[in-house]
Chains A and B, each alone.
Chain A
Amino acid sequence: MPADVSVTDDGELFLEIERQRVSLSPSQGFTLAQALIRASTRAIIVDETDRVAVLNTVQTAYPVTGG
Chain B
Amino acid sequence: MTSRVIVADDGHDISVVTYAGADALARACLDPLAALHVGADLIQAAQRHLTRAAPPDLRSVGAPIRGGDPHARRRRERDAALREAAQVLAPGQPPEVQARIIVGRLSRYRRMPDETAADRIVLDRIKASGLEPPGVDRTAKIIRAGEQKPDWLPMDGD
Chain A interface (Cβ < 8 Å from any Cβ of B): 2-7, 9-11, 13, 15, 17-20, 22-24, 26-30, 32-44, 46-47
Contacts and interface: CB of A to CB of B under 8 A. Distances in A.
Contacts of A5: 16, 28, 30, 34, 38
Interface of B: 3-5, 7, 9, 11-12, 14, 16-18, 25-36, 38-43, 45-50, 53, 110-112, 130-133
A22 B38 CA distance: 14
B4 A29 contact: no
A33 B43 contact: yes
A38 B112 CA distance: 19
B35 A39 contact: yes
A15 B43 CA distance: 12
Contacts of B111: 6
Given A13-B46, A17-B28, A39-B9, A7 B3 contact: no
A15 B16 contact: yes
A3 B29 contact: yes
B42 A33 contact: yes
A22 B9 contact: no
Contacts of A7: 38, 41-42, 45
Contacts of A41: 32, 36
Nearest to B3: A22
A36 B49 CA distance: 20
